[in-house]
Each structure stands twice: as structure tokens, then as C-alpha cells.
Amino acid sequence: MKTDYSCKLLTIGLAAFMFIGLAGCATTTSAPDEEITATVASADGSPIVYGVRGQGEPVIVFVHCWTCDHTFWDKQINYFSKHHRVVWLDLAGHGESGSRRQHYTMQAFGQDVAAVVNKVGAQKVILVGHSMGGPVVVEAAELLGDRVAGIVGVDTFYTPFEYPSDQEKITAFVKPFETDFRGASEQMVRSMFTPQADPAAVEAIVAKFSATDPSVGVSAMYDLFSWNAQHAAVDLAYFSKILYNINAAPTGKELPANGHVSMVKNVGHFIPQMKPEAFNQALENIIKTLGKTTD
């Protein structure tokens, strides 16, 4: 009887050991798919919420556009985290992040990005910025220095949109947003889609913009236009070797401004959201090109 009882204990013990071992293996295997979210203080103390998923370098950092949040990158985060380490963040005053600032400048947003990159310990990054996120990642690149392997602007820089070039024109452009932020935002955003765009997707994006804190949106818009007038030419020239673009070709006939610009046909401003497969492939191609030039 003692022998039988001992055998039973041994069998149970071995089974438990195998279960724990297999469970440990399963946890290790699934770790790359798990998303870790946390908060880091930006230079001015604003709490910046960010997330990390996947493994490896270069780390791809996704930065959203004006009055948006990280969820605009959901289809890219899911896709690229399978083979890359991906980082997202909400800029101060946007999404889940808080704010301790009164003026929402491209430089301050750049500090948000740099704080996250420093916190996650990334040594080699590709910064991807949509629309306003373009100037933001350029500012972040100036802070991060040699750790930046590439900058990818998404429908920003080298587009047909003409930014107001002096203070008088900037003030005139922003005035409607000060008077009726929701109405002006909705009108502007709706104009950024092609007639063929999915109506449900359009409404979802419009709703996000309309719900933004007007004080954040107005301040950021002022500084975005000022940045383009004062800094764009010099900064884009400085980073020209590692700067690439994925821009929209709404009619399908628009041509790239230079050899570093990829065009996605028959889509408006919101390329990653409306044509995720085409956008993801274009970004993959840029990542491969940057890999060749930095090896």
C-alpha cells in the first residue's frame, strides 16, 4: 500500500511539475504579444501614457496627429508588433495622457516622445508621425540624436496643403476654431476624405476630432502653423537622408515630390485608417530601406 501511495504521489508531483513547466513556456512564448502600458513624466511633468508591444530593434514609435490619440494606429500596432517592437503614446492633452502645460508646442510634444523612448530604453528607433505628428517626431529626433534610424512622415511634408506662412494668415485660419471649434473641426476633417470613403469610418474619425478640448486644439494648431513657417525648411533639410514620407494621392494621379516619398492612391488624409494594408506595406518597404542604409 505504501508503495502504491508513493507512486501516486510521484505521479501527481511529476504531472504538477510538467504543468508548471508548460505554463512557464506558454508565458514566455506569448510575451511578445502582450501589451505593456505605463505612464512617464514629460519634461514639464505632464503624465504621458504609452504602450509597448513586440520585440526587437529598431523600435517603431507611432505618433498620432492633431487632436487624435494612439487608437488611430490600432491597425498598425497589431500588424507591426508581430515582427517589431512597437511603441505608441498619447501626446499631452490627448487621449489618456494628462497635461500640465498651457501652450501645446511641437517642441513640447517632441519632449513627450523623447520621454517615452528614453523610458523604454530604445537604442534604435524609427519615428512615425501622422500629420501634426510629423513636426513632432522631427522635434523628438533632435532630442534623441543618433538613436534615430529613420523618420517617417504620414501625409505631412511635401503635400499640396499650403500652410499659412505669416502671423496674420495663421490668425485668420485659426479664428473659426476659436469661435466654433466643433463645427470648424468637423468641416475641416470631412474635407480630408475621398467621396468613396467608408461613411462609418468617416463618422468615427469626425467624432474623435469634435470631442477634443478646444484649448488644446487651438493652441496646437497655432504652433503647428508657426513651426512650419519657421522651422520646416531647415529641419527637413537637416534630416533629409533619413526622412521618408507616405502621402495620399486622392485622385490617383498625384506624383511624389521626391524619391523619399511614397504615394498611396485613392485615399485622403487618413491613410493608415482608411487603407491600412497599403499603408503597412509602404511602411514595411521604408523600414527595409532604412535597414539597408544603416547596416
Local confidence band at 25 (pLDDT 50, 70, 90 cut-offs)? very low
Q: Cα(84)–Cα(71) distance, rounded to whole angstroms? A: 18
Q: Which fold has domain 33-294?
A: Rossmann fold (3.40.50)
Local confidence band at 63 (pLDDT 50, 70, 90 cut-offs)? very high
Instruction: Indicate whether this model's pTM tops 0.75.
Output: yes
pLDDT of residue 292: 80
pLDDT of residue 72: 97
CB 244: neighbour CB atoms within 10 A? 25
Mean pLDDT of the chain: 89
Q: Give the pairing of strands 261-265 and 243-249.
A: parallel
Would you list the domain boundaries of the chain?
33-294
Class of residue 249 by CB neighbours under 10 A (exposed 0-12, middle 13-18, buried 19+): middle
Nearest to 133 by CA among 245, 283, 57: 245
Q: Cα(104)–Cα(93) distance, rounded to whole angstroms? A: 8
Local confidence band at 253 (pLDDT 50, 70, 90 cut-offs)? very high
pLDDT exceeds 60 at position 24: no
φ and ψ of 209, to 5 deg: -65, -40
Local confidence band at 22 (pLDDT 50, 70, 90 cut-offs)? very low
Residue given cell 525648411 in the structure block: 233
Residue given cell 507611432 in the structure block: 62
